[in-house]
Amino acid sequence: MELQHVSVPMPADGHDVARSFYGALLGLEERDIPPKLDASALVWFRAGGDCELHVFVSDEAAPYSQHFCLRIDSGLDALRARLEAAGVEVRDTTEIVGRPRFMCRDPFGNRVELTEWR
């Protein structure tokens, strides 16, 4: 068994903001929405291997402490600097030895952990 996707909410007008944050800023590759699904309500990204991030239109508020984690191969400090330069607030969290990490929130309030395994 393996994780296939994670879904997080966005407002109805959030498509371009999702593309800007997850695609342009974090570097995730957008993927096509499969047939029969409402592409006007979704933006999907590849998140490593066969794992996907599904950003979906919803009136739900973003969960406060639940989060998902994206691991990068290298360049965590550069990614942090890029996020901060874009005005994204980043926060340190409890250290995990060999896995430097920090947290931020996407433009919709979803909590995202970013890490690099060393």
Is 90 exceeded by the pLDDT of residue 118?
Answer: no
Question: Model's pTM, two decimal places?
Answer: 0.94
Strand order in the sheet with 67-72: 67-72, 111-116, 101-105, 90-92
Q: Residues 5-116: name the CATH superfamily.
A: 2,3-Dihydroxybiphenyl 1,2-Dioxygenase, domain 1 (3.10.180.10)
What's 23's DSSP letter? I
Positive or negative: CA dihedral 55, 57, 16, 84: negative
Q: Whose CA is closest to 77, among 22, 116, 104?
A: 116
Q: What is the pLDDT of residues 49-100, one digit of tens each?
A: 999 999 999 999 998 899 999 999 999 999 999 999 999 999 999 999 999 9
Q: What is the pLDDT of residues 18-31, one digit of tens each?
A: 999 999 999 999 99
Q: What is the pLDDT of residues 60-69, one digit of tens each?
A: 999 889 999 9
Q: Where are the domains of the chain?
A: 5-116
